[in-house]
């Protein structure tokens, strides 16, 4: 596998995004910044919560037992719930929360054309990109959970509307204290060339979501120039055009990679019996 990660803090005091990856999985987490002065019922805060959720996801994804991605997320949320302890109000509507995007290599051999399975899960306004054809010029499918964009009455939203809609039927779902939210995530399996993928937080998705780039252009940029260049382009667009809503610079994080090894050695070069022949890391 090959994995590249870039994460850049926005204007906040700390970066509340997290990213992680293993041999056959990767994720991003975007802790939701609490409005200043708001009582969240939690003595820990968003940074702490993002760390707990990321640690739980990494533990579940690296575990020997392979469980469905919604179960992995549910276990990570449950673990964070336990970590809050008795000093926190777990029923508080403004308890720290986060959006999540996870990808994992699906079992099974690649197709004859080199495409293999990639499982994905998206909860909240994070995005997973899944190429549909080889090469940087091929198509790409974007999986984004846009339920927050469709609350009753449209934007701008009142704080009360957002509070009442969070983790509620007909509203939008995020990873917070509700284990049930894990089962509201968008998830599935796609076949991508080389099991390639990208996952990003909304601060990084701005190039497409706010500044007019197509997802195919975002994917091509990632493949050609790498994750740091995507973040740099987002920052440049923010400086050049301003931001119609939200923070001037949000935390921006992207992980891009391929779970399959790079294109193999020429025919006949592979050592019989295998073992130790370079498959990358
Ligand atoms: Zn807490």
What are 191-241's pLDDT values in tens digits?
999 999 999 999 999 999 999 999 999 999 999 999 999 999 999 999 999
Residue 49 alpha carbon to ligand 1 centre in Å: 7
Residue 13 alpha carbon to ligand 1 centre in Å: 19
List the domains of the chain with CATH numbers: 2-7+35-261 (3.60.40)
Residue 43 alpha carbon to ligand 1 centre in Å: 5
Residue 64 alpha carbon to ligand 1 centre in Å: 29
Indicate the helix (H) or strand (E) that contains 256. strand 252-258
Q: Is 272 helix (H, G, I), strand (E, B) or coil?
A: coil
pLDDT of 37 reads 75
Residue 45 alpha carbon to ligand 1 centre in Å: 6
Distance CA 92, CA 145 (A): 23
pLDDT of 218 reads 97
Residue 253 alpha carbon to ligand 1 centre in Å: 24
Q: Low-confidence residues of the chain, pLDDT below 70?
A: 135-137, 264-281
pLDDT of 265 reads 55
Q: E strands, 32-177, where?
A: 98-105, 115-123, 127-131, 140-144
Residue 80 alpha carbon to ligand 1 centre in Å: 9
Residue 73 alpha carbon to ligand 1 centre in Å: 18
pLDDT of 274 reads 42
Tens-place pLDDT, residues 26-56: 999 999 977 777 789 999 999 999 999 999 9
pLDDT of 280 reads 40
pLDDT of 136 reads 62
Whole-prediction pTM: 0.91
Residue 62 alpha carbon to ligand 1 centre in Å: 25
Residue 42 alpha carbon to ligand 1 centre in Å: 4
Residue 53 alpha carbon to ligand 1 centre in Å: 12
Q: Which of 32, 41, 82, 77 is nearest to 175 (CA)?
A: 77
Distance CA 202, CA 33 (A): 13
- How far lies 184's CA from each of 9, 25, 71, 224, 252, in Å? 28, 21, 11, 34, 24
Query: What region does 245 belong to: left with phi over 0, alpha with psi -120 to 50, or beta?
Result: beta
Residue 88 alpha carbon to ligand 1 centre in Å: 5
pLDDT of 272 reads 47
pLDDT of 166 reads 94
> Do 151 and 171 form a contact (C-beta atoms < 8 A)?
yes
């Amino acid at each position: 596998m090959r994995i590249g990660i870039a994460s850049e803090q926005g204007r906040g005091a700390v970066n509340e995004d997290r990213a992680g990856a293993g041999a056959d999985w990767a994720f991003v987490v975007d802790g939701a910044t609490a409005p200043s002065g708001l009582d969240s019922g939690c003595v820990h805060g968003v940074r702490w919560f993002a760390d707990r959720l990321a640690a739980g996801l990494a533990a579940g994804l690296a575990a020997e037992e392979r469980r469905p991605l919604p179960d992995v997320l549910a276990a990570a949320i449950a673990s964070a719930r336990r970590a809050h302890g008795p000093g926190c109000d777990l029923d508080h509507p403004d308890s720290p929360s986060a959006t999540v995007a996870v990808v994992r290599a699906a079992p099974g051999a690649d197709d004859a054309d080199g495409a293999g399975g990639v499982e994905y899960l998206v909860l909240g306004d994070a995005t997973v990109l899944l190429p549909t054809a080889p090469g940087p010029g091929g198509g790409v499918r974007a999986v984004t959970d846009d339920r927050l964009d469709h609350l009753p009455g449209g934007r701008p939203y009142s704080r009360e509307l957002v509070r009442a809609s969070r983790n509620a039927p007909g509203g939008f779902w995020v990873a917070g204290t509700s284990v049930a939210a894990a089962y509201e995530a968008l998830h599935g399996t796609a076949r991508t060339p080389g099991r390639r993928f990208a996952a990003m937080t909304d601060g990084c998705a701005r190039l497409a979501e706010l500044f007019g780039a197509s997802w195919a252009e975002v994917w091509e940029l990632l493949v050609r120039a790498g994750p740091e260049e995507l973040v740099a382009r987002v920052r440049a667009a923010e400086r050049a055009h301003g931001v119609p809503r939200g923070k001037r610079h949000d935390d921006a994080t992207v992980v891009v990679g391929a779970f399959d090894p790079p294109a193999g050695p020429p025919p006949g070069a592979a050592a019989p019996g295998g073992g130790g022949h370079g498959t990358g890391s």
